[in-house]
Amino acid sequence: MTLEDHIGDIVRKARTAANISPDSAAEAAGLSRTQLAELEENGKTSKEPNFKALAPLIGLNPAKLERIAHGWLPKQVELSNWRELRQITTTARLSVNCYLVWDEVTREAALFDTGWEARPTLEIIDEHQLQLKHLFITHAHEDHIAALAKFREHFPKVKLHSGSKNAPPDQRNRANDFIHLGSLRITNRETPGHAEDGVTYIIGNFPEDLPGVAVVGDCVFAGSIGRGFVSTDLLKQKIREQIFTLPPETLICPGHGPLTTVGQEKENNPFFT
């Protein structure tokens, strides 16, 4: 298991969001400008950075940042406990996750994002004889919707859901919507910041009282957050309000990298104090 963002990615994201120059960050970290550039590029440097001085300057929690620098990983999640939930990872320029969930009785299914290609997901749908009823989009960046046309071709009646203001009215999420998928219940929470149309979808009511699932797109990664193309401050605010208020055992299903939980991110994600 490897994190989506290495320690240098985290430092660079935080530094640029805080508008701190490389020279100032390097000085705080006790590094040369070249050493800081190496750290941000590949997560490695010949000298141990002074994270206790660097972290507050760029808006990170020092202890959590050091924890990640020294190898923190989220505890392995046994996804098979959620028998009707699959993580599907496809790769082109980068790897991206999408998620398929279904009701074990009705065989009605929902897909969250599409990934780069449809084939792996279509194989699961065929294997389990599922009916794809809903397709939920966390945000409209290319890697998350690249296979959208293929799914619509295979399932012309699939119901699309997104947070885009440009989507047709019948495809836009509405506050307090409850979408039922057999016994499962799906709700949405707006989480812009990485993207203007960012949405987190909460899946609940799993059999055997399993924890709920939050499909977060690129809002939160294990130990990091998405790049704040709209606003990093807004993204962090929405994560606090809409994701970190969920029960700690809630499974976080990110668009990139490994699975994690709300509790682990509140305890270990350096972007949050």
pLDDT in tens, 23-34: 999 999 999 999
Q: Determine the length of the chain.
A: 273
pLDDT at 136: 98
Which pLDDT does position 42 carry in this prediction?
94
- Note the pLDDT tens digit of each residue in 119-159: 999 999 999 999 999 999 999 999 999 999 999 999 999 99
Query: Using one digit for the tens of pLDDT, what is the confidence trace for 156-202?
Result: 999 999 999 999 999 999 988 899 999 999 999 999 999 999 999 99
Q: Mapping DSSP to helix (H, G, I), strand (E, B) and coil, where does residue 178 land?
A: coil
Read off the pLDDT of each residue in 204-232 and give the average, rounded to a whole number. 96
User: H/E element holding 214?
Assistant: strand 213-217
- 105 confidence band (pLDDT: 50, 70, 90): very high
Report the pLDDT value the prediction gives residue 52, as an integer from 0 to 100.
Answer: 96
Distances (CA, A) of 182 to 99, 107, 133, 205, 208: 17, 8, 11, 10, 15
Query: Which amino acid, residue 95?
Result: S
User: What share of the chain in percent tops pLDDT 70?
Assistant: 100
User: Is 45:39 a contact under the CB 8 Å cutoff?
Assistant: yes
In the numeric block, which tokens belong to residue 196?
A: 């203007």
Within 13 A of 195's CA, how many CA atoms are on the CB side? Answer: 21
Q: pLDDT at position 273, please? A: 87
User: Average pLDDT, stretch 9-18?
Assistant: 97
Structure tokens at 27: 């000085």
**Spatial contact of 66 and 51, defined as CB atoms under 8 Å apart:** yes
Average pLDDT over residues 70-95: 94
Between CA 235 and CA 10 the distance in angstroms is 15
Hey, which residues does 150 pair with through a beta bridge?
A: none
Q: Are 253 and 97 in contact (CB under 8 A)?
A: yes
Q: Is 164 exposed, middle or buried (0-12, 13-18, 19+ CB in 10 A)?
A: middle
Name the average pLDDT for the chain. Answer: 96
Lookup: tokens for 118: 């449809």
Write the CA distances from 24 to 33, 47, 248, 272, integer angstroms.
9, 17, 36, 22
Is the pLDDT score of 100 beyond 90?
A: yes
